[in-house]
Structure 1
Amino acid sequence: MQINPSINGWIEKFLNQYAADVSDYITDESFFLACQKSGLIYGYVVNYHLDNNLDDTKWDNEEKMKVGFLATLFALHKTKKETDYQLFIEDLFQFYTIISKGNFSFLNMVLPHANSYQKLESIINERLQTNDNIVTKNFTHMVTNSMLYIDVLAFEYYLNQNTINLDFFKNLERKCLALIMFSLNVKKQKSEYDIMLLKMFENSLRYSKVSKVKSNEIIDVVFEGNRSALEGMYLYEIAHMTLISDGVVNENEQVFLSEFALKLGLNKLNQNTGYELVEFINKNKNNLPFYNLNHPVKQFYTNTQDNIAKLVSRNKTRLLKELSESKELVKLLGKSTQSELSFEEKKKVKKQLLDICKSIPSLTIFLLPGGGLLLPILIKFIPQLLPSAFNENLKD
């Protein structure tokens, strides 16, 4: 029976046909190594934890990601708990039901009368952002598809503890973003796009104030609280992905990675995760959006700024009205075109701008997880596209 991951019923079909072939793993190291080889962590799935081959030649990258994500969660469930896929569906649905109490946006589209399989299909669609949103589909895989692995780690925590809350997501997101910021600072020679990426990450944090922490203290955020072995290996991989974004890891960056691995407590087996990343890139470089053609941040920035310009233009009248009622915001945005804003000023701009986005339906994408990454680009276009609003209010 042919599986089409874009049509309702694909999860049930996949599990009926392939559940028995999904691998279970003896150790955390073997599971993580399989996750690396599957490509899920790197945003480009090439296999599905199956003992036998699966024909995915007719699937696009998003469809491969959906099946790869589901297969990874099931492989984790088999490794940690049971092989019965009906129990897996119950556990996974319960996991997301608990998370939805925190109003995670990706559950808002779940149909109230659908069965568990259909609801999980909706959840996975939203998690992978496989919708028509013109902005979120252009996030780089380092920010979205690789961050998808946070769900795998959260599901591991849920299976071990039988409970979970949003603090797990918040804390791990905070660790990852702090680590990316720190890793970029490790680079001796940063391109304009590395600096741009660093600034974008600094503006993306919704739950913490990492940007207020001195650069030599940011790494301490990564080691806050407890972590599982899988989380430690994932954090190492995040650092390596960030440093190799320009295609090479130089000597001082390798020293940092080695010291970071020791501090994470990684042994010789799971310290070798970096070699898997290099091997995966070499095999799939032509297909990886993160390493293909232009520098990933340049590609992300170019695509995204074009789309945000369209959003701002289409909502120009409404934005003009909202801005006319926020004179402090207008003055701060005007000031930002001439000089650097202080931390408190940036905080005010972010809060007031998000308040405006709440009132304009097509701009609510800035409220989604990771939407803070887009705010600097939105800020850039407001003065250009709404000059009359700025001139008028700045005179006041």
Structure 2
Amino acid sequence: MVNPSANGWINKFFSENKSNYKEYNNDLLAFYHDVRSSGFIYGHVIHINLVNPTDTSQLSSDEISKIALLNSLFSIYKIVSNSENEVVFIEKAISFYTFLHQKGTGLFSKSKPNLEECIANRIQTNENIFAKNFSHIITNALLFMDILAFKKYLEIEENPVNYLKRIEESTIVLVSNALSIKENPSKYDDLLIKLFENSLRYTKFYRKELAHSDFEQFEKFDSILEKLYLLDLATMAMWSDDELSSIEKDYLQTLCIELDIENTEYEISLINIDSYIKKYKNEIPYFNYSNPMKHFYEQSNKNVTKLITRNGKRLTKELRESKELVQLLAKSTISDLDKDEKKKVKKQLLDICKTIPSLTIFLLPGGGLLLPILIKYIPQLLPSAFNENLED
């Protein structure tokens, strides 16, 4: 299984899927339909677009998004270049991402980063664990802009930043106005705008009233991928449990006319977003904001459980070598630890997490909130050691 938190995961992904890629034969519409059905357009990936989808049951949402981004980039590279040369693709992708970041700071202070670092940089945010749990739905929905910009870069090989600025600006204007004309605003609308604002990379958020004549700004987007993506983001903003009003339908249909989108694609967009959200609503943080702490704990518990299961053997080995930590944790089951003992437990747990790439989530801002979940599973990993310490 590919582990996107371990070094070398991209090469492993390519070696395991050489005969497993979907072939689109220059059919951009088929490619987009597949990407949308995977949830990548909506920011919550439910499967990877391969002939035989890879098992993602033990991966975190960020790790799944990394694979989905890589696979989508490679798919668009194959369509545009008519080539499956993985080495050339990686070189092109690194060159593309180098354009997107100013050299001299952070990741790109290196002369040449690797693609794993580039992809991790796109997926990660600087937010704490709690905020990230809710914002990734929009951050990852906007990742499809990377696919659009990479396509443009492969076609004209020019700096893609200006293109990304244009499509970001158009997207936020579109979404802001789609929300402003909703006849029955939902409790999620203000949150959606805030998440969009925090997820933009190249433009500043602003609200602008969009007159019908302003729809002409979308004429510069002539690819079917661009057109359908703009439509899907608008329908995502419009979505509610109730049927769309006549005003809302008029807005979307006017957009379709200006983008020259066939009515069948408009209907497909509405059906897809409705069925997708209704099916996966309980898994998407954005729709569980009414009880954020409860949802944060439930989702974090699932992700930490996956990470512990996947890294169980290595974690067990590291714990067995930390006898003082095990003794303190065993003691905590029968009495309270003092302040110094609690500090020792935290420090030694974080030291262990540093040695296991997948567990570095605990080192991120706010990661300490997740340590109690990790501690809960340790007695299951070391039952005999705990019994011995308790007897002592």
Which bin holds the TM-score, normalised by the shorter protein? 0.5 to 0.7
Query: Does the 8 A contact of 1:179 with 1:239 survive in 2?
Result: yes
From 103, 106, 118, the counterpart of 1:123: 118
* 2-structure distance, mates of 1:130, 1:210: 21
The reply on whether 1:280 has 2:280 as its aligned counterpart is: no
1:84-120 Cα distance to aligned partner (Å, 9 max, x none): 21121111111112222x45x9x83257377x6xx21
Matched residues in 2 for 1:227 and 1:37: separation?
22
CA deviation profile, 1:121-168 (whole Å, cap 9, x unmatched)? 111112111677447624534531101111011011111112233111
Question: Is residue 48 of structure 1 aligned with residue 48 of structure 2?
Answer: yes
Q: Secondary structure at the match of 2:286?
A: coil
Q: % of aligned pairs identical? A: 30
Question: 1:118-267 residue pairs with structure 2 within 5 A?
Answer: 119-129=114-124, 133-134=128-129, 137-191=132-186, 194-195=189-190, 197-198=192-193, 207=203, 210-211=206-207, 213-216=208-211, 219-220=214-215, 222-223=217-218, 225-244=220-239, 246-252=240-246, 253-267=248-262
Question: What letter matches 1:64 in structure 2?
Answer: I
| Alignment gaps of 5+ in structure 2 | 297-392
Counterpart of 2:181, as a letter, is: V
- Paired with 1:110 and 1:16, the residues of 2 have a C-alpha distance of 27
- Kindly tell me: are residues 224 and 135 of structure 1, through their superposed partners in 2, closer, same or farther at Cα, counting changes over 3 Å? farther
Rounded to whole Å, the distance in 2 between the matches of 1:191 and 1:15 is 43
Shift of 1:277: 2.0
Corresponding residue for residue 89 of structure 2: 88
Paired with 2:53 and 2:20, the residues of 1 have a C-alpha distance of 9
Q: Provide the C-alpha distance between the structure 2 equivalents of 1:128 and 1:122, rounded to a whole number of angstroms.
A: 10
Question: Does the aligned pair in 1 maintain the 2:24–2:30 contact within 8 Å?
Answer: yes
SS at match of 2:211: helix
Q: Residue type matched to 2:60 in 1? A: D
Deviates most, 260-269 or 143-152: 260-269
Q: Which amino acid aligns with 2:255?
A: F
Question: Matched residues in 2 for 1:78 and 1:199: separation?
Answer: 35
- Superposed, 1:17-96 pairs within 5 Å as 17-26=16-25, 27-81=27-81, 82-96=83-97
- Residue 107 of structure 2 aligns to a residue in which SS? coil
Distance 1:285 1:209, change over 3 A: closer
Assess, with a 3 A threshold, how the Cα gap between structure 1 residues 135 and 37 changes in structure 2: closer, same or farther: same
Rounded to whole Å, the distance in 2 between the matches of 1:181 and 1:227 is 22
CA contact (8 A) 1:33 1:273 kept: no
Which residue identity lines up with residue 229 of structure 1 in the other structure?
I
Which residue is equivalent to 1:289?
285
Distance 1:220 1:266, change over 3 A: closer
Task: Give, in whole Å, the separation in 2 of the partners of 1:139 and 1:128.
Answer: 14
Letter in 2 for 1:148: L
The one-letter amino acid paired with 1:145 is: N
What is the aligned partner in structure 1 of residue 324 from structure 2?
Answer: none
Q: 1:25 to 1:200 in 2, by over 3 A?
A: closer
Letter in 2 for 1:21: N
| 1:260 positional shift | 1.6
Question: Residues 196, 273 of structure 1: CA spacing in aligned structure 2 closer, same or farther, 3 A cutoff?
Answer: closer
Segments of 5+ residues of structure 1 without an aligned counterpart are 304-396
What displacement does 1:237 show?
Answer: 0.3
Bigger mean CA offset, 22-31 vs 186-195: 186-195
Distance 1:85 1:254, change over 3 A: same
Q: Give the total of aligned pairs.
A: 290
Provide the C-alpha distance between the structure 1 equivalents of 2:160 and 2:148, rounded to a whole number of angstroms.
13
Q: Is contact 1:182-1:218 (8 Å) kept?
A: no
TM-score (norm 2): 0.65
